[in-house]
Amino acid sequence: RRPFPRPTRRRIFAVANQKGGVGKTTTTVNLAAALAMHGVRVLVVDLDPQGNASTALGVEHRSGVPSIYEVLLGDRPLHEVVVQSGEADGLYCAPATIDLAGAEIELVSMVAREGRLRKAIASLSKDVEVDYVFIDCPPSLGLLTVNALVAAKELLIPIQCEYYALEGLGQLLRNVDLVQAHLNQELRLTTILLTMYDSRTRLADQVVAEVKEHFGDRVLGTTIPRNVRLAEAPSYGQSALTYDPVSRGSLSYLAAARELAERGVDAPNGTVR
């Protein structure tokens, strides 16, 4: 395996789209696994109370296990809740438990409520030295997603190749503007990934063309096809790259991860444009 280039500075991605079911978690898990399998060290922060990313990485997340909830609401250091995923050496996960469902409300009355994840990642101890952090956001634009946008340097938006794909993105992008203006100047929308592409429909091609027209070279050249292996893998507590490494879904996430890694090194200012 030819290793992927490692960035000179840690890259922190929020994987966000307030629509559910567009492939945020599938993208987070499989990009993270692909990078880690190629010598890059990766932390996945599960910020969805459903804990789907934790599940797919084979990481325990029943109520009571140390989780991102204690980090956000209880000032617990992030490294204390981070566990190694069996998927690859150098792949770590901060799991989400169902307790996180209350966090959206509980955060409202906290001091510096938008910056709690940023602070936790910034003080991540050297025990968990990672090149990439992926924050898997819930399907909403509440305080959890805002925490992700404030903590991140880059925004990755998965867009499903379906009708209405762009609808609702305006709301996300307005939030991004607000976060840039008031909370995190560094945040950049660097990456769009088209997901669940179905080559049998003309509609899918129209969506691809429309998204590329709108977002230009921020759209990764790799488009993720609809592939049942990607949907099956989580029930085995695995990424698709482990579950079926030669499936079309796995190979496409592998190609997307390579693109992401190679771009990050070439992009002006290290990682961000």
Determine which residue in the list 11, 12, 13, 25 makes contact with ligand ADP, applying CB under 6 A. Answer: 25
| 54, 190, 195, 222: which one binds ligand ADP (CB under 6 A) | 195
Residues 225-254 that bind ligand ADP (CB under 6 A): 226-227, 230-231, 249
CB of 22 to Mg ion, least distance (A): 9
Taking the complex as a whole, the smallest distance from the CB of residue 173 to Mg ion amounts, in Å, to 20
What residue number has its CB nearest to Mg ion? 25
**Which option in Mg ion, ligand ADP, none does residue 224 bind, with CB closer than 5 to 8 A by kind?**
ligand ADP
Nearest approach, Cβ of 24 to Mg ion (angstroms)? 5
Nearer to Mg ion, 25 or 190 (CB): 25
Q: Which stretch binds ligand ADP (CB under 6 A): 6-14, 95-103, 183-191, 220-228?
A: 220-228
C-beta closer to Mg ion: residue 93 or 271: 93
The string of DSSP letters for the chain reads -PPPPPPSS-EEEEE--SSTTSSHHHHHHHHHHHHHTTT--EEEEE--TT-HHHHHTT---STTS--HHHHHHH---GGGT-EE-TTSTTEEEE---GGGGGHHHHGGGSTTGGGHHHHHHHT--GGG--SEEEEE--SS-SHHHHHHHHH-SEEEEEEESSTTTTTTHHHHHHHHHHHHHHT-TT-EEEEEEEESB-TT-HHHHHHHHHHHHHHGGGB-S--PBP-HHHHHGGGGT--HHHH-TTSHHHHHHHHHHHHHHHHHHHSTTTT--
Q: Which of ligand ADP, Mg ion, none binds 26 (CB below 5-8 Å, type-dependent)?
A: ligand ADP
Taking phi over 0 as left and psi of -120 to 50 as alpha, with beta for the rest, 21 belongs to left
Q: Which stretch binds ligand ADP (CB under 6 A): 73-81, 125-133, 221-229, 264-272?
A: 221-229
**C-alpha to C-alpha distance for 62 and 150, rounded to whole angstroms:** 27
Q: Which of 10, 35, 46, 52 binds ligand ADP (CB under 6 A)?
A: 52
Among 224, 251, 257, 261, binds ligand ADP (CB under 6 A): 224
Could you tell me whether strands 42-46 and 91-94 are parallel, antiparallel, or unpaired per DSSP bridges? Answer: parallel
Is residue 199 part of the contact set for ligand ADP (CB under 6 A)?
A: no
Q: Distance between CA atoms of 16 and 61, rounded to whole angstroms? A: 21
CB-wise, 28 or 271, nearer to ligand ADP? Answer: 28
Would you count residue 168 as binding ligand ADP (CB under 6 A)?
A: no
User: Which span sits near ligand ADP by CB under 6 A: 20-28, 63-71, 77-85, 212-220?
Assistant: 20-28
Report the candidate in 223, 255, 228 with the shortest Cα–Cα distance to residue 240. Answer: 228
Q: Is 26 in the site for ligand ADP (CB under 6 A)?
A: yes
State the residues that interact with ligand ADP by CB under 6 A.
20-26, 52, 139, 195-196, 224, 226-227, 230-231, 249
